[in-house]
Amino acid sequence: MARVSALACSLQPAARPKAIPAVGCSRSNRRRVMRAVMRMAVVPAILVLASGCATKDWVKNLVGQKEVEIDQKMGAQGQKVTLIETKLGSVETATGEARTRADGAYSRADEVNERLSRLWTSRHKRQLVETVHVQFAFDKWDLTDGAQTALLQIVKDLKTNPNLTVDLEGYTDPTGPQAYNIGLSQRRVESVRRYLIEQGTEMPRVHSIGLGPLNGKTNEEHAKQRRVTVRLMVNQD
């Protein structure tokens, strides 16, 4: 009987093992999980917001620094502009004074020209027969076809009357330096003198001088001043 009882006991089904409670299945576990998830979501958001605030402050500081630098540069540029304007004012004043002195020099040159003409006339007791103006282009001393035609008539008159002589006076407009214009007037006179001599006029009968610039303000006046005045004279001795 004892064996039967033992065998019967051994044939009884084994005890079912206790179930392990599933994590997260209970309400309390779900709440803990939700809290953890929310913490994980909130922390990056806070970091982003903090980063955004820091970025805005950095941008504001950078913009403020740039504005200060720009204001400083504009102030320096303003000082340079003021200095340049001051220098320009000084240059304009000096230019005005130089122009006034130049006008006075041109007027004196005209007076000298008139005195020389009177001196030549009184010394040689000559009388003016004809005056011809040979015009030149700006900064040029080459004879045009029209100028050569007018000079050929002077050559014919000189050949016809041995008592005739010719006075040449070269001029320029007031544009450019005084020394350059005097040289230019001499080159123009030399062009006319050389042409007269090449056409058969004796050298002693040609008197030439370059007198430099004349005073003038308009383009029309300047065009007339770029010339050589040819005066055909007759001796009265």
33 φ, ψ to 5°? -65, -45
**pLDDT tens digits for range 102-161:** 556 655 655 665 566 566 555 557 789 999 999 999 999 999 999 999 999 999 999 999
Say if 143 falls within a structural domain: yes
Q: What is the CA radius of gyration of the chain?
A: 55
Q: Which residue has the higher pLDDT, 200 or 7?
A: 200
Whether 135 maps to a domain, the answer reads yes
Gap between the Cα atoms of 109 and 122, Å rounded: 20
How many structural domains are present in the chain? 1
Q: Residue 179's domain is classified under what CATH number?
A: 3.30.1330.60
In a domain, 98, yes or no: no
SS3 readout for 95-108: HHHHHHHHHHHHHH
The pLDDT assigned to 120 comes to: 55
Give tens-digit pLDDT for 207-225. Answer: 999 999 999 889 999 999 9
Report yes or no on 182 lying in a domain: yes
Cβ contact 228:144 at 8 Å: no
Residue 198 belongs to what domain range?
A: 125-235
> Residue 4 contacts by C-beta under 8 Å, 6 or more apart in sequence?
none
Question: pLDDT tens digits, residue range 150-202?
Answer: 999 999 999 999 999 999 999 999 999 999 999 999 999 999 999 999 999 99
